[in-house]
Amino acid sequence: MSGINLRFLFLLAGLALSAFAADERKWKDLAVDGLHDPASLALPSLQNPRAALRPLPADSAGNQVNWVKTLREGHIKPRTNLLETTKVRVLDQDVIMTRTAEMPYVRFPHLAHTEWLDCGNCHEGLFKSKAGATPVNMLAILQGEYCGRCHGAVSFPLTECNRCHSVLKSSVVKKPAGNK
Amino acid sequence: MAVLMLTATAAFPEYGDVVLNKRAEKEGVAPVIFPHWFHRIRFRCKVCHSELGFEMRAGANEVTMAEIVQGKFCGACHNGEIAWATDNCRLCHSGKPGLTSRIHGSHETLGPGRW
């Protein structure tokens, strides 16, 4: 076989293999996670993260699971409430935050959040309902305030800038009301 | 040409794990490890953080065994009906000695801030 044919063959093989790229996500077993006592008699009864998380849609950060996708595609069916009297409120409303200095504007989707959280989890303690009334800033977020209460602790971490800063300034014709 | 990347595998706990050790070790039991991932598969955030009154801040909740047994906090489910009952001490009290109460976040960074 000529040299060119051989290289072409390898290229094809490489491309074919990459289509079946292995799932490279790794989770630590409880016995070696640095938190659980390896000598604990409970370990055989406790589930390791990999067993539950591997089948779920992948993500590159946090638990390495795309929880929003996981819920919407029906891979999990978490309960919305324990008590019958609880009002389950889901709101589909985007908030565009424009005080983002050089970064693209932030799009906050109520829908993805209210599928999981109750209105009272954020309002009015963390965020005022009135647009523009909460002095959100990135430094405070990094300190665990505002969005940082959850993002970086339970939901995707703050290394994922573009997931929030997703609205290019050039795409916005008119500044939303309530923002200076 | 293949480039071998040697990644250091430090002992990081699973993202979202909460250590509760305000009183546990002082009172002679292992610290509690609460895994968010296991619970969010079964319950939405609003159930614990709205219905059951858990504050979304590690260290902000005064959770005592007495209250749990009465059906508050963890005891709302860990009562033998929705989930295992409180006589299975070690299933919750499974932490190493000396753990600090906190939440473990930030998959790829060490996590600034008060987590």
ipTM of the complex: 0.83
Query: What would the two tokens of residue A26 be?
Result: 């790794």
**Quick check: A80 and A91 in contact, CB under 8 A?**
no
**B30-to-B12, B13, B27, B78, B105 alpha-carbon distances in Å:** 19, 17, 9, 18, 21
Compute the radius of gyration of chain A from its Cα atoms. 22
Q: Where are the domains of chain A?
A: 59-180
- Tell me the CATH architecture of domain A59-180: Alpha-Beta Complex (3.90)
Q: Is B63 part of any domain?
A: yes
Q: Is B6 part of any domain?
A: no
pLDDT category, B81, cuts 50, 70, 90? Answer: very high
**Domain tally, chain B:** 1
Q: Can you give the CATH number for the domain in which B51 is found?
A: 3.90.10.10
Q: Which residues of chain A have pLDDT under 70?
A: 1-3, 13-21, 175-180
The answer to whether B111 faces chain A, any CB pair under 8 Å, is yes
Q: Is B4 part of any domain?
A: no
Is B49 in contact with A118 (Cβ distance < 8 A)? yes
CA atoms of A36 and B94, how far apart (whole Å): 6
Single-letter amino acid, residue B55:
E
pLDDT tens-digit readout, A53-64? 999 999 988 899
Q: Is B12 part of any domain?
A: no
Q: Is B2 part of any domain?
A: no
Nearest CA in chain A to B96: A37
pLDDT tens-digit readout, A18-39? 555 678 888 999 999 999 999 9
Interface probe, candidates B9, B12, B15, chain A, greatest A C-beta count within 10 A: B15
